[in-house]
């Protein structure tokens, strides 16, 4: 079995090298289709695309800072039931973790899909990406400019501000992938390395007939350690700001005051999976006289109602599974920093259970099983 292979790179062009690699994967590994970020033909934008024709991979762009949706949702749709062929998917680390959570919830399956991951320096918000992309003649030029900044020894240029979720992410490497492509600490003149993390990954790499890779780049650990140190400092400051802002009902209400109940955050969230959400049922379809009663009792009632209750319900529902991808903030029309708040809550919730969402596919989710000794001080058994 082959554990790692070398990806040849010409003229320090990672993007072309990555495209060539995935073309080889489709042609030699028996892959019928691959879910991969791809440039749209109708506009210079990047979206997850299920590609069955290897020629279409000339438009693939898994290195772009575009992150319009969390691909875990799309992969769950493709694997929930047998698709009639072998598929692969190229996902960011947070997408892999989100998909693992969906697998645990029986919303998708990993059996018939090979997951590829690429080291992730972060992404731009949808609006920032559009501005950034439009500053370049082609989408490829935009991606190459981003990679030159993101993977250099210098900090990313100030006009390339990553999302808050990415700046606070402490899992930038795709450890949960079947095959991971290393970029951090890599010398672009010497090619890239794809390393298998699972038996399925080893089988795929063996069939590609590519040369074996050398040892892990010596700078990789140093680069990642420096990045994590910076991100942990940012996250600490972010959590302090969130705690100060939302430490009371009044503070939380102020934080969420711009919410208009569009439910975009719920739709964009990869682990908010319920087919029918309670907030779209008759439970929250109040009769007109109820609104009038509330207004009379309080002197006035904010419309739409139930905005605070909606977010509190979401926190209780998904805090154990939140992977901090930031799509809730990305989808909010009023730019509420929802990801900061939900990451803060998830950090404490998952910490209380000793759980890391999506990190270990074999680890059972909190509150999904019986523990003989758990929270005795809460239930009064101590």
Q: How many CB atoms lie within 10 A of CB 82?
A: 9
Residue that wins the pLDDT comparison between 334 and 190: 334
- Residue 166 and residue 328: Cα distance in Å, rounded? 13
Q: Quick one: pLDDT band at residue 172, thresholds 50, 70, 90?
A: very high
Pairing of strands 87-91, 113-118: parallel
Beta strands in the chain (DSSP E): 4-7, 33-39, 46-51, 87-91, 113-118, 179-182, 192-196
Q: Which pLDDT does position 153 carry in this prediction?
A: 57
Sheet arrangement for strand 33-39: 4-7, 192-196, 179-182, 113-118, 87-91, 33-39, 46-51
Q: Which pLDDT does position 374 carry in this prediction?
A: 67
Does residue 109 sit in helix, strand or coil?
coil
Sequence-distant (6+) residues with CB within 8 A of 229 are none
> Is 80 exceeded by the pLDDT of residue 370?
no
> Is 50 exceeded by the pLDDT of residue 328?
yes
Residue that wins the pLDDT comparison between 222 and 97: 97
- Residue 70 and residue 81: Cα distance in Å, rounded? 20
Q: Quick one: pLDDT band at residue 158, thresholds 50, 70, 90?
A: very low
Residue whose token pair is 């350690």? 225
Q: Which pLDDT does position 163 carry in this prediction?
A: 96
Are 311 and 340 spatial neighbours (Cβ–Cβ below 8 Å)?
no
> Is 70 exceeded by the pLDDT of residue 8?
yes
Q: Which pLDDT does position 32 carry in this prediction?
A: 95
Q: What percent of the chain has pLDDT over 90?
A: 67
Q: Using the CB atoms, write b or e for 155-165: b if 16+ within 10 Å.
A: ebeeebebbbb
Q: Which pLDDT does position 219 carry in this prediction?
A: 83
Q: Which pLDDT does position 43 carry in this prediction?
A: 74
- Please state which of the ranges 95-104, 136-145, 149-158, 351-360 shows the lowest mean pLDDT: 149-158
CA distances to 115, 157, 371 from 354, in Å: 26, 37, 13
- Please state which of the ranges 16-30, 73-87, 141-155 shows the lowest mean pLDDT: 141-155
> Is 70 exceeded by the pLDDT of residue 35?
yes
Mean pLDDT of the chain: 90
- Quick one: average pLDDT of 75-96? 95
- Quick one: average pLDDT of 144-166? 78
**Closest C-alpha to 197, from 361, 71, 335:** 361
> Is 50 exceeded by the pLDDT of residue 274?
yes
Does residue 15 sit in helix, strand or coil?
helix
pTM listed for this prediction: 0.92
Q: Which pLDDT does position 380 carry in this prediction?
A: 64
- Quick one: average pLDDT of 346-359? 94
- Please state which of the ranges 109-123, 186-200, 337-351 shows the lowest mean pLDDT: 186-200
Q: Quick one: pLDDT band at residue 38, thresholds 50, 70, 90?
A: very high
């Amino acid at each position: 079995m082959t554990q790692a292979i070398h990806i040849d790179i010409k003229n320090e062009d990672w993007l072309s090298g990555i495209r060539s690699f995935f073309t080889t994967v489709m042609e030699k590994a028996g892959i019928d289709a691959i879910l991969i970020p791809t440039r749209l033909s109708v506009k210079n934008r990047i979206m997850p695309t299920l590609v069955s024709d290897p020629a279409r991979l000339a438009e693939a762009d898994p290195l772009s800072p575009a992150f319009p949706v969390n691909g875990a949702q799309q992969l769950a749709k493709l694997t929930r039931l047998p698709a009639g062929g072998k598929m692969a998917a190229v996902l960011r680390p947070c997408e892999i973790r989100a998909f693992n959570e969906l697998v645990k919830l029986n919303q998708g399956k990993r059996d018939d899909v090979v997951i590829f991951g690429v080291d992730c320096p972060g992404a731009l918000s949808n609006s920032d990406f559009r501005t950034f992309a439009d500053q370049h003649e082609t989408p490829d030029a935009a991606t190459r400019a981003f990679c030159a900044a993101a993977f250099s020894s210098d900090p990313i240029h100030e006009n390339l501000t990553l999302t808050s979720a990415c700046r606070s992410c402490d899992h930038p490497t795709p450890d949960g992938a079947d095959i991971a492509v290393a970029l951090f600490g890599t010398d672009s003149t010497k090619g890239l390395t794809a390393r298998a993390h699972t038996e399925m990954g080893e089988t795929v790499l063996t069939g590609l007939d590519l040369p074996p890779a050398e040892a892990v780049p010596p700078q990789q650990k140093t680069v990642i350690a420096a990045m994590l140190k910076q991100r942990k400092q940012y996250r600490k400051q972010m959590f302090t700001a969130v705690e100060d802002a939302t430490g009371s009902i009044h503070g939380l209400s102020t934080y969420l005051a711009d919410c208009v109940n569009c439910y975009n955050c719920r739709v964009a969230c990869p682990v908010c999976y319920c087919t029918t959400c309670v907030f779209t049922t008759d439970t929250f379809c109040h009769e007109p006289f109820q609104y009038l009663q509330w207004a009379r009792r309080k002197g006035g009632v904010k419309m739409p109602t139930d905005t605070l209750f909606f977010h509190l319900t979401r926190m209780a529902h998904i805090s154990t599974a939140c992977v901090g991808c930031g799509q809730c903030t990305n989808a909010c029309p009023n730019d509420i920093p929802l990801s900061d708040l939900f990451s803060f809550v998830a950090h404490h919730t998952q910490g209380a259970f000793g759980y890391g969402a999506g990190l270990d596919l074999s680890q059972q989710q909190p509150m999904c099983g019986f523990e003989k000794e758990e929270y005795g001080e809460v239930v009064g058994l101590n």
